[in-house]
């Protein structure tokens, strides 16, 4: 997802559309993060969405929506086997700051609200903001009676049985001045080392399970946790508490909710009292008497972040005096007396030791930087993509350079600066020949990517194309994972797609390999046999012809029904140098170009593919092994049947091709441009001019989440 949310103010109509999209995006992100423990955007991207939403609502308060995320905390708990728990005192979230100036303004705002003079002291506490799962512990007469997650702030999930296995959470408070009722609030988290060990354990478990079933093990299919926060949330919210018991979870307290009485008059005093009862608090919890001290605490915590055994993403400030907290109160979903000062994207310096060139399925040469290992954002980074030839030139990087890496949230690290740019050394020479096969590598007109021209005779492209051929969106073959294809290719058993269907002749050879048993080999061969009458569009897409995506393959097969008919016309439409005008006037070219979604680029790609002898040989060989039936489009009745739908902007949960395929299955026509004939627009971030035109034409606009509901309703 692109975190560069537009900063300018749009027109009122555009603002209304953008607020609608933002509400859906933020609510969806909240659901994935809080309810499903499966976030798909980084914290930085999420914060950018929230800030943009707040800016638009401030500029157009009359456009604030009933479903505005401004008034929501977390996400509503759906049906849960753990049971629901209402919070007696709502669990709030915090407003964020990203700069020193915003922190100073927060303190000034507190002073203005309380009518305090500039020299009147305002003490605040500061502590690191741990990246965990919010949890409330209700103690009655000192004994733990209930534990609940935050949920949507008003209702959470009952995790009482699960927290009993967290060693930091005591079943009974001990010490002085313990209230009859006291809800301790804090974070359940998992340390970085435990997180890595857990993922290793999950991998080992999956390997053992595959061996027990006599199946080949494919580590790419093992579901592991993305980060320690997800691991903590997934471990705490287990239906079976015995699973939680095996996970090394930790807890620390940072506040409280319902209380029969509060044992202190300041935040600092009460937190220290909670600590005296046997519950841990942040070791970096401290009292600050000025903005300067707050920022000094922030910098100290930030600078020591990498050495901490757990993940943190900022510093939390709270007004210390509880009577001032009460006067300040709350606004929307957050207290006026607290603020989260978030860390910027983490950066680190290291040495670029070498630049390797990898060759992908389409022949693209991608430069990969090999780094001296460095810790960035809690992750040890050893490799980084340098994207393409132009990016290397822009950064001026060469092996031996000292570079700056940046990593925000869970996004892939990137090189943002070259500290050795001025050193007098030769520039990196990007190869003009493929490192795998030695064939010429060139960039097409107007393209930045350099590609190997060898096609299927290049070994790197062969293995990548074989992996694409069996992938989920192509033939979807079970049992043929990346490692298996690499192994079989190295043995000389797989060189083209047709060889997959001849693997039955290799049964004894496969059995002789480590990790293969009778059952796993038979399962693989049976999976292959089920694909001998494949869907023609999937087969066409699986061949990896440039510019022929999922939807384009469907569009072509809808017109031609059979693969031989498509090939015949594509060969006639091949464009030879100097004959462009002649071919463009041909019947074959005209017929291809008339297909919705097929333009000159696709026609040229098809013609070029069938012009190559080795591609025709692969095609003929494959069709000697498989017999795809005539292509027939099956559609479902839906609320968009018979309508024209346009997808615009950046889709976040699916590719544009997949979205168009969904529209087709629902009986709709997916168009590329907005016109008076358009019935519906599905808009993602960066939709731009198409939204403006939709507003002018009065066309209904929905976001990706609403489209998903339409697809779901159709069954």
Catalytic residue among 72, 84, 129, 650: 129
Q: Are strands 680-683 and 644-648 parallel, antiparallel or unpaired?
A: parallel
Among residues 587, 598, 590, 528, which one has the least CA distance to residue 557?
Answer: 598
Residue 504 DSSP code? G
CA distance 247 to 241: 10
Token couple for 632: 């027939």
Token couple for 660: 């168009």
* Residues 415-444: b if buried by 16+ CB within 10 A, e if exposed: beebeeeeeeeeebebeeebebbebebebe
CA distance 593 to 600: 7
Token couple for 624: 């000697």
Q: Is 129 a residue of the active site? A: yes
Are 83 and 298 a contacting pair, CB within 8 Å? no
Q: Give me the half-sphere count of Cα atoms (radius 13 Å) on the Cβ side of residue 32.
A: 15
Query: CA dihedral defined by 267, 269, 272, 277, rounded to 10 degrees?
Result: -110
Detail the DSSP E strand segments found in 36-153. Answer: 84-86, 96-97, 124-130, 133-140, 143-149
Q: What is the full DSSP assignment across 248-293? A: -EEEEEEEEEEESS-S-SBHHHHHHHHHHTT--B-TT-EEESSHHH
Token couple for 465: 């194309």
Are 496 and 572 a contacting pair, CB within 8 Å? no
CA distance 68 to 61: 11
H or E element in which residue 605 lies: helix 600-611
H or E element in which residue 381 lies: strand 379-385
CA distance 669 to 665: 9
C-alpha distances out from residue 201 to 218, 224, 378, Å:
15, 10, 20
CA distance 232 to 229: 5
User: What is the Cα 123 distance to its own chain's centre?
Assistant: 39
- Which residues are registered as beta bridge partners of 450? 443
Q: CB atoms < 10 A from the CB of 27, how many?
A: 17
Q: What is the full DSSP assignment across 168-235? A: TS-SB--SSS--SEEEEEEEEEE-HHHHHHHHHHHHHHHHHHHHHHT----GGG----SSHHHHHHHH
Q: Are strands 96-97 and 338-342 parallel, antiparallel or unpaired?
A: parallel
Q: Which residues are catalytic?
A: 129
């Amino acid at each position: 997802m692109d975190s560069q949310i537009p900063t300018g103010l749009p027109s009122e109509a555009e603002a209304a559309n953008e607020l609608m999209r933002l509400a859906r995006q933020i609510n969806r992100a909240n659901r994935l993060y809080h309810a499903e423990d499966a976030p798909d955007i980084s914290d930085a991207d999420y914060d950018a969405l929230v800030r943009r939403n707040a800016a638009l609502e401030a500029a157009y308060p009359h456009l604030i929506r009933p479903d505005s995320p401004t008034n929501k905390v977390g996400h509503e708990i759906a049906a849960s086997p753990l049971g629901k728990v209402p919070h007696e005192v709502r669990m709030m979230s915090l407003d964020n700051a990203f700069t020193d100036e915003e922190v100073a303004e927060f303190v000034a705002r507190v002073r203005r609200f309380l009518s305090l003079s500039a020299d009147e002291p305002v003490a605040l506490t500061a502590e690191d903001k741990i990246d965990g799962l919010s949890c409330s512990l209700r103690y009655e007469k000192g004994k733990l009676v209930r534990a609940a997650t935050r949920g949507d702030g008003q209702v959470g999930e009952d995790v009482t049985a699960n927290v009993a296995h967290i060693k930091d959470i005591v079943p009974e408070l001990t010490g002085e001045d313990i209230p009859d009722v006291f809800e301790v609030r804090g974070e359940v988290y998992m340390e970085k080392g435990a997180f890595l060990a857990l993922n290793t354990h999950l991998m080992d478990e999956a390997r053992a399970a595959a061996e027990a079933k006599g199946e080949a093990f494919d580590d790419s299919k093992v579901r592991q946790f993305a980060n320690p926060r997800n691991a903590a949330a997934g471990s705490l919210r287990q239906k079976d508490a015995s699973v939680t018991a095996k996970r090394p979870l930790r807890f620390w307290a940072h506040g409280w909710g319902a209380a029969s009485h509060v044992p202190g008059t300041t935040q600092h005093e009460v937190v220290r009292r909670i600590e005296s009862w046997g519950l841990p608090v942040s070791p970096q919890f401290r009292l600050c008497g000025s903005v300067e001290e707050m920022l000094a605490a922030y910098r100290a915590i930030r600078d020591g972040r990498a050495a901490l055994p757990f993940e943190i993403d900022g510093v939390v400030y709270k007004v210390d005096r509880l009577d001032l907290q009460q006067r300040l109160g709350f606004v929307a979903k957050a207290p006026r007396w607290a603020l989260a000062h978030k860390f910027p994207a983490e950066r680190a310096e290291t040495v670029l030791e070498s630049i390797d060139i990898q060759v992908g399925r389409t022949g693209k040469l991608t430069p990969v930087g090999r780094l001296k290992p460095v810790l960035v954002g809690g992750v040890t980074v050893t490799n980084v993509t340098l994207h393409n030839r132009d990016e290397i030139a822009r950064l001026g990087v060469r092996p031996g350079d000292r570079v700056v890496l940046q990593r925000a949230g869970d996004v892939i690290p990137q090189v943002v600066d070259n500290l050795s740019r001025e050193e007098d050394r030769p520039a990196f020479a990007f190869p003009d020949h493929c490192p795998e096969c030695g064939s010429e590598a060139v960039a097409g007109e107007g393209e930045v990517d350099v590609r190997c021209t060898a096609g299927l005779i290049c070994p790197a492209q062969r293995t990548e194309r074989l992996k694409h051929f069996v992938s989920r969106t192509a033939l979807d073959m079970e049992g043929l994972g990346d490692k298996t294809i690499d192994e079989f290719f190295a043995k000389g058993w797989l060189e083209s797609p047709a060889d997959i269907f001849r693997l039955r002749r290799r049964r004894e050879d496969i059995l002789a390999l480590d990790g293969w048993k009778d059952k796993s080999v038979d399962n693989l061969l049976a999976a292959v046999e089920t694909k001998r009458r494949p869907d023609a569009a999937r087969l066409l897409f699986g061949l990896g012809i440039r510019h022929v995506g999922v939807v384009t393959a469907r569009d072509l097969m809808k017109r031609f029904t059979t693969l031989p008919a498509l090939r015949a016309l594509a060969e006639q439409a091949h464009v030879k140098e100097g004959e462009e005008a002649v071919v463009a006037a041909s019947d074959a070219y005209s017929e291809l170009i008339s297909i919705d979604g097929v333009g000159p680029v696709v026609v040229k790609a098809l013609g070029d593919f069938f012009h190559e002898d080795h591609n025709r040989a692969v095609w003929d060989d494959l069709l000697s092994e498989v017999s795809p039936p005539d292509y027939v489009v099956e559609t479902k009745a839906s609320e968009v049947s018979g309508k024209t739908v346009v997808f615009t902007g950046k889709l976040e949960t699916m590719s544009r091709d997949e979205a168009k395929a969904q529209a087709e299955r629902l009986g709709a026509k997916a168009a590329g441009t907005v016109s008076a004939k358009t019935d519906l627009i599905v808009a993602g971030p960066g939709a731009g001019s198409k939204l403006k035109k939709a507003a002018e034409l009065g066309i209904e606009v929905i976001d990706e989440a609403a489209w998903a509901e339409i697809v779901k309703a159709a069954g």
